[in-house]
């Protein structure tokens, strides 16, 4: 895709012309992230998080491939091989901490990326496919993160595997056989560890593939922007390079500083000490919680405490948890407002922030022990989460009166000068 | 924000000049396209080169641990020395032991073998060394070498009972036919060097520390 005014790739050096004829890879790069991709000129720093998520994936793949050189996926020695990495392998401690901290940072930037998409309406037409692929990436990330967490074969690893595969046993009739099939036994053991390692190594490359589709789908309509107004002409865009390569480069520097601070000064802050105890199938840790990025979903899972309509509470919890993510797949069709950016949607903006608070409350409930007031609070918060998407959003998009939109991106950015800019653009 | 900061070729000829307002963007630049500042160096060039160079240094620094992790780890390096009791090895016998996951030959030379080794003039040798240089003073009958052929790393025959010791009566490598003499010096075949003598020391007359 591109806008008609996108710069064309014109190699000058004979070697580059030769390559362009045989394998136009430099042309692809130029059109994707170079001067040939016109981007709205008004993107703010929230637009950095896509690139940062890509950087986080790269960190995970590089450190992960290195860790796999030293890790042994065998229930007898997995725990010790992780300690071997921490104590014996040259810089092993740093590479492992980079991988474990990197997982958290991957989720941090992806959550901010999703936040951006929700606030500025990036999920709406014509970018529904970008959004759908993004939700697929999110699901793959969660599966990968969970299986990676099992590999050190500590107490949290083992009981995490036990609990998460237990979700599948909630399915009526076939649940228990499915769980045994997933585990390769009646409880997590060597077979489970081996298949999780295999899939944990595979899925990041699947994620990388879906990211290619995600970007491909994005480049057909082009990037959204903080006003949500469509690009109308050349005066609304700047080329990706050097404008956004520089801006993303700056953002990457800030990201790496934050990452290094946690990696070198608080590498275990986001983990659980129990995972430094070797897996013991006879003893569950007193307080078992997942990693922080699963807390809101964990709270939704636990918020069902009684059977409704002959359906057991266990099945309700599992359905609600998966449903909370599945809802995101239909989001582009639940919100019918033609206005994208929350900046021009006063009513949506209020409820958007309520949703953010609601998800934070769910996260808090997810980490707290199963006792009052957290159980009741998580029930209300979970109910509100579903109400936001299924009831509030469709009603808002029906009754809301949006603020007047700017005529164009350049008008929003440059105010009254926009006409000068536009006319001189046409003159040239 | 001065125009000097951004005096580079204008990418957007369609955008008009807007003097003295707001951000330093290309179209706010007063200078004509491509005109360098007074000293000929554009500030943007300097920032660009400095930033990209610094990122390059960072990338190299990050690559160092990713490369050194493949070197021998601390537990492997900890196996660097062993002690061997040699009291049971009779003259004419040899044993194989393991040091750093490699075979080591420890041979108790007979008087005849010592004589044979000393009789060879150094000029005949590919890798000239005397037996005295290859053993410890006062322990010339103890020949301790790696059992790794210096050609391509096979284990030569000759340390075990009844194995082919080759035409020079020392060791013989079956892979590519390198023949070593009684002082484990290369005499014939493709190997370039004598069998390697590791660092070792006699803790007592019957105990050797290798490594």
SS3 assignment, position A239: strand
- Give B30: exposed, middle or buried? Use CB within 10 Å, 0-12, 13-18, 19+: middle
Which pair of structure tokens corresponds to residue A290? 């997942």
* Catalytic position from the list A236, A274, A291, A358: A291
**pLDDT tens digit sequence for B62-101:** 999 999 999 999 988 887 788 999 989 999 899 999 998 8
Tell which residue, A60, A78, A66, has the closest CA to residue A194: A78
Residue partners of A152: CB distance under 8 A and separation at least 6: A78, A79, A82, A275
- Annotated catalytic, A189? no
- pLDDT range class, residue A222, cuts 50, 70, 90: very high
pLDDT at B20: 42
CB contacts < 8 A (A, B): 66
**pLDDT tens digit sequence for B102-133:** 999 999 999 999 998 998 898 889 999 999 99
- Which residue is closest to A415 within chain B, CA to CA? B22
Which of A88, A426, A428 lies nearest to residue B75, judging by beta carbons?
Answer: A88
Tell which residue, A378, A330, A269, A322, has the closest CA to residue A143: A322
Torsion of CA B40, B44, B49, B52, to 10 degrees: -170
- pLDDT range class, residue A171, cuts 50, 70, 90: confident
* Contact assessment for residue A174 and residue A166, using Cβ atoms and an 8 Å cutoff: no
pTM of this structure: 0.84
The stretch A359-387 carries a mean pLDDT of: 91
Q: How far apart are CA A296 and CA A293, in angstroms?
A: 8
- pLDDT range class, residue B6, cuts 50, 70, 90: very low
Cα–Cα distances (Å) from A418 to A251, A287, A341, A409, B49, in that order, read 29, 59, 20, 9, 34
Q: Given an 8 Å threshold on Cβ–Cβ distance, is A424 in contact with B15?
A: yes
- Annotated catalytic, A20? no
pLDDT at B14: 43
Upper half-sphere CA count for residue B43 (Cβ side, 13 Å) = 9
**pLDDT tens digit sequence for A318-355:** 899 999 999 999 999 999 999 999 999 999 999 999 99
Q: What percent of chain A has pLDDT over 70?
A: 97
pLDDT at A93 over 60: yes
**pLDDT tens digit sequence for A272-317:** 889 999 998 898 888 888 999 999 999 999 888 777 777 888 888 8
**pLDDT tens digit sequence for B159-175:** 888 888 999 989 999 99
| Residue B54 to chain A, least CA–CA distance (Å) | 11
Mutate to test the interface with A, among B5, B12, B22 (most CBs of A within 10 A): B12
Q: How far apart are CA B173 and CA B165, in angstroms?
A: 9
The stretch B19-35 carries a mean pLDDT of: 48
Instruction: Rank A64-68, A274-278, A363-367, B118-122 by mean pLDDT and report only the highest.
Output: A64-68
pLDDT at A51 over 60: yes
Token pair 């958290």 is at which residue? Answer: A104
**pLDDT tens digit sequence for A251-280:** 999 999 999 999 999 999 988 889 999 998
């Amino acid at each position: 895709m591109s806008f008609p005014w996108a710069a064309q790739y014109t190699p000058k050096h004979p070697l580059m012309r030769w390559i362009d004829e045989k394998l136009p890879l430099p042309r692809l790069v130029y059109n994707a992230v170079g001067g040939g991709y016109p981007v709205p000129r008004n993107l703010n720093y929230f637009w950095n998080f896509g690139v940062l998520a890509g950087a986080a994936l790269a960190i995970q793949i590089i450190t992960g491939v290195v860790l796999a050189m030293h890790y042994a996926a065998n229930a007898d020695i997995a725990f010790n091989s992780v300690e071997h990495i921490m104590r014996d392998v040259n810089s092993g401690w740093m590479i492992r901490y980079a991988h474990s901290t990197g997982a958290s940072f991957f989720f941090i930037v992806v959550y901010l990326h999703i936040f951006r998409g929700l606030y500025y309406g990036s999920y709406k037409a014509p970018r529904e496919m970008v959004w759908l692929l993004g939700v697929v990436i999110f699901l793959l990330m969660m599966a990968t993160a969970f299986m990676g967490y099992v590999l050190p074969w500590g107490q949290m690893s083992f009981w995490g595997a036990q609990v998460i595969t237990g979700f599948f046993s909630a399915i009526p009739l076939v649940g228990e056989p499915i769980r045994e099939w997933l585990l390769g036994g009646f409880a997590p053991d060597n077979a489970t560890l081996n298949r999780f390692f295999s899939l944990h190594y595979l899925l990041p490359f699947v994620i990388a593939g879906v990211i290619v589709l995600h970007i491909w789908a994005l480049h057909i309509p082009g990037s959204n922007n903080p006003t949500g107004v469509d690009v109308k002409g050349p005066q609304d865009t700047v080329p990706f390079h050097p404008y956004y390569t520089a801006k993303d480069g700056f953002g990457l520097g800030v990201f790496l500083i934050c990452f290094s601070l946690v990696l070198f000064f608080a590498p275990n802050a986001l983990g659980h000490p129990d995972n430094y105890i070797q897996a013991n199938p006879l003893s569950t840790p007193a307080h078992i919680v997942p990693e922080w990025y699963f807390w809101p979903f964990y709270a939704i899972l636990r918020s069902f405490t009684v059977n409704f309509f002959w359906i057991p509470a266990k099945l309700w919890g599992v359905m609600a948890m998966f449903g909370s993510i599945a809802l995101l797949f239909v989001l582009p069709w639940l919100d019918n407002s033609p206005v994208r950016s929350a900046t021009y949607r006063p009513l949506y903006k209020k409820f958007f922030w309520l949703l953010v608070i609601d998800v934070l409350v769910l996260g808090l409930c997810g980490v707290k022990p199963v006792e009052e007031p957290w159980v009741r609070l998580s029930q209300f918060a979970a109910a509100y989460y579903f109400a936001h998407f299924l009831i509030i959003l469709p009603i808002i998009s029906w009754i809301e009166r949006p603020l007047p939109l700017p005529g164009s991106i350049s008008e929003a950015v440059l105010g009254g000068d926009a006409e000068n800019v536009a006319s001189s653009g046409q003159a040239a | 924000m001065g125009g000097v900061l951004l005096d580079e070729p204008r990418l957007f000829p369609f955008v008009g000049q807007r003097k003295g307002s707001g951000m330093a963007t290309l179209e706010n630049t007063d200078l004509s396209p491509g005109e360098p500042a007074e000293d000929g160096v554009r500030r943007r060039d300097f920032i660009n080169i400095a930033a990209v160079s610094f990122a390059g240094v960072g990338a190299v620094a990050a690559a160092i641990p990713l490369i050194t992790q493949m070197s021998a780890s601390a537990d492997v390096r900890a196996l660097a020395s062993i002690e061997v009791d040699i009291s049971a090895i009779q003259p004419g016998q040899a044993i194989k032991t393991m040091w750093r996951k490699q075979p080591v030959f420890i041979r108790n030379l007979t008087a005849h073998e010592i004589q044979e080794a000393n009789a060879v003039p150094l000029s005949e040798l590919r890798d000239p060394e005397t037996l005295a240089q290859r053993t410890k003073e006062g322990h010339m009958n103890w020949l301790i070498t790696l059992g790794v052929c210096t050609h391509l790393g096979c284990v030569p025959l000759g340390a075990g009972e009844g194995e082919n010791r080759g035409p020079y009566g020392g060791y013989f490598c079956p892979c590519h036919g390198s023949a070593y003499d009684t002082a484990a010096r290369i005499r014939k075949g493709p190997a370039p060097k004598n069998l390697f003598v590791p660092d070792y020391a006699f803790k007592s007359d019957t105990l050797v520390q290798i490594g």
